[in-house]
């Protein structure tokens, strides 16, 4: 059982709602921001009394955490440090929108402990940004990155999106070149998924979404081109310079303990999974939904296979006492022969094209 834990704090506010977004987020007033911060502080104190684990990573996600004042982020961090046992070398990440980042005081946030910022760029092509409903320009991104670096924070991650309507390999190359030119440490690339209850879903017939073949080409190009530019892939959607992998997100894939505080935030602690519903009122009332036991062999396989390092069979045996059954290895051989999986001694991992169909393969394996 792990002695450490990662904290995720959900900030459910945005200046505007993007047409593809299904995350729990909304517009709100400054008064609502202030009230929510007080609710968060109350729940931080509540959970600190429920565990004696040491916090070794913190992640502010959303929504858009940068719509809060830097002093509020600092207040939340101080509450965490005064409530939990905290490692002296925590990775403390914060998501930001390039537009709201222009008004955010990163110097104050850095002094409070923020040492990693994830910036939602999504595309370097103005037509694609308009389609995505993004409110920022490339000039905003330039200014935001400069502001973040000037504050002393050099661990910056940029988000890009694949599968945008009318996106091509050339337009994607332009986006990657732009991100590389900003001299950052980490790039995340997410394949657009059309979720129900979004504008993209309701108007899906009006958009020219790339088909499966083009989306596959976009993904494979991304993996290859980022590698050529010094960004190694360590997870399906994540690439970094050496030593700059996101420590907090690796907790999810390594099945380590994490605590999510906020509406729609999920947790995994001591083998149990639970979450808060998508409601600030239910969060305020601390209504927790139990989501069953976690940490099964099949879950472990599924999470580890998201990483490029794959499943280590020696470690699996240490954790569960025995290797998977014969049927599992027969399927592994089948997918290895098809070029989707590499099986080398004690390591099983997906190939680049295997990642594209990983959900289907994992469903068969487990």
What is the number of alpha carbons within 13 Å of residue 202 lying toward its C-beta? Answer: 7
Per-residue confidence (pLDDT) for residue 217, from 0 to 100:
95
Mean pLDDT, residues 267-295 taken together: 94
Statement: residue 207 has pLDDT above 80: no
Check whether residue 62 and residue 173 sit in a common domain: yes
| Residues 277, 287: Cα–Cα separation, whole Å | 8
Task: Produce one character per residue of 56-77: b if its CB has 16 or more CB atoms within 10 Å, e if not.
Answer: bbbbbbbbbbbbbbbebbbbbb
Domain end call among 218, 252, 286: 252
DSSP E strands, the chain: 4-11, 54-62, 85-96, 116-122, 155-162, 186-191, 232-235, 238-240, 258-261, 266-269, 272-276, 288-293, 311-312, 341-344, 347-350
Per-residue confidence (pLDDT) for residue 248, from 0 to 100:
97
- 315 lies in a domain? yes
Check whether residue 201 and residue 349 sit in a common domain: no
Check whether residue 243 and residue 327 sit in a common domain: no
Give 262-273 pLDDT, tens digit per residue: 999 999 999 999
Check whether residue 209 and residue 124 sit in a common domain: yes
| Residues 170, 320: Cα–Cα separation, whole Å | 46
- 295 lies in a domain? no
Question: What letter would DSSP give residue 26?
Answer: B
Name beta bridge partners: 251: none
- 280 lies in a domain? no
Statement: residue 101 has pLDDT above 80: yes
- 125 lies in a domain? yes
1 pLDDT band (50/70/90 cuts)?
A: low
Give 319-336 pLDDT, tens digit per residue: 999 999 999 999 999 999
CB-based contact 75:41 (threshold 8 Å) = yes
| Residues 73, 65: Cα–Cα separation, whole Å | 8
Check whether residue 212 and residue 125 sit in a common domain: yes
CATH number of the domain bearing residue 44? 3.20.20.70
Check whether residue 85 and residue 157 sit in a common domain: yes
Question: What letter would DSSP give residue 66?
Answer: G
Check whether residue 227 and residue 322 sit in a common domain: no
34 pLDDT band (50/70/90 cuts)?
A: very high
Domain end call among 205, 223, 252: 252
Question: What letter would DSSP give residue 61?
Answer: E
Q: What average pLDDT does the chain have?
A: 93
Per-residue confidence (pLDDT) for residue 345, from 0 to 100:
85
Check whether residue 331 and residue 237 sit in a common domain: no
- 179 lies in a domain? yes
Task: Supply the angle between the helices 70-83 and 30-48 in degrees, to the nearest 10.
Answer: 10
Check whether residue 233 and residue 313 sit in a common domain: no
Check whether residue 350 and residue 223 sit in a common domain: no
Predicted structure pTM score: 0.94
Check whether residue 204 and residue 109 sit in a common domain: yes
| Residues 23, 147: Cα–Cα separation, whole Å | 27
Name beta bridge partners: 120: 159
Per-residue confidence (pLDDT) for residue 17, from 0 to 100:
67
- 278 lies in a domain? no
SS3 label, residue 84: coil
Statement: residue 144 has pLDDT above 60: yes
226: enclosing H helix or E strand: helix 212-228
- 266 lies in a domain? no
Question: Which domain, by its residues, includes 34?
Answer: 4-252
Mean pLDDT, residues 208-217 taken together: 88
Domain end call among 231, 252, 273: 252
19 pLDDT band (50/70/90 cuts)?
A: low
Q: Based on the structure, what is the number of domains in the chain?
A: 2
Check whether residue 92 and residue 173 sit in a common domain: yes
Q: Cβ–Cβ contacts within 10 Å for residue 196, how many?
A: 8
- 264 lies in a domain? no
The residues, ordered by sequence, that sit 6+ positions from 223 with a Cβ below 8 Å of its Cβ are 233, 239, 352
């Amino acid at each position: 059982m792990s002695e450490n834990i990662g904290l995720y704090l959900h900030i459910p506010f945005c200046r505007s709602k993007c047409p593809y977004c299904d995350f729990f987020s909304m517009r709100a007033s400054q008064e609502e921001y202030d009230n929510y911060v007080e609710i968060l502080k109350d729940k931080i104190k509540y959970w600190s009394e429920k565990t004696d684990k040491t916090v070794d990573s913190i992640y502010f996600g959303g929504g858009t955490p940068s719509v809060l004042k830097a002093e509020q982020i600092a207040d939340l961090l101080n509450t965490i440090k005064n409530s939990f046992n905290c490692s002296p070398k925590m990775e403390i990440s914060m998501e930001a929108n390039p537009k709201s980042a222009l008004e955010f005081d990163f110097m104050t946030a850095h002094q409070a402990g923020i040492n990693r910022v994830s910036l939602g760029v999504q595309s370097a092509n103005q037509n694609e940004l308009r389609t995505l409903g993004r409110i920022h320009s490339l000039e905003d991104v330039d200014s935001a990155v400069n502001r973040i670096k000037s504050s002393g924070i050099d661990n910056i991650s940029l988000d890009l999106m694949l599968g945008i309507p009318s996106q091509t390999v050339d337009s994607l190359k332009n986006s990657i070149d732009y991100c590389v030119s900003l001299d950052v440490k980490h790039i995340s690339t997410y394949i657009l998924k059309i979720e129900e209850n979004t504008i993209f879903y309701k108007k899906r017939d009006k958009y020219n979404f790339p088909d499966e073949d083009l989306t596959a080409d976009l993904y494979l190009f991304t993996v290859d081109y980022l590698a050529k530019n010094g960004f190694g892939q360590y997870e399906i959607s994540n690439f970094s310079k050496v030593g700059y992998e996101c420590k907090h997100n690796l907790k999810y894939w390594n099945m380590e303990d994490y605590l999510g505080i906020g509406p729609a935030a999920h947790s995994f602690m001591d083998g149990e999974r639970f979450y808060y519903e998508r409601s600030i009122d239910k969060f305020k009332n601390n209504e927790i939904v139990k989501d069953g036991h976690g940490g099964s062999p099949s879950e472990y396989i599924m999470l580890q296979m998201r990483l490029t390092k794959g499943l280590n069979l020696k470690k699996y045996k240490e954790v569960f006492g025995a290797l998977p059954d014969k049927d599992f290895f027969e399927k592994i051989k089948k997918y290895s022969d098809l070029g989707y999986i590499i099986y080398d001694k004690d390591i099983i991992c997906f190939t680049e094209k295997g990642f594209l169909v990983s959900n289907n393969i994992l469903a068969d394996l487990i």
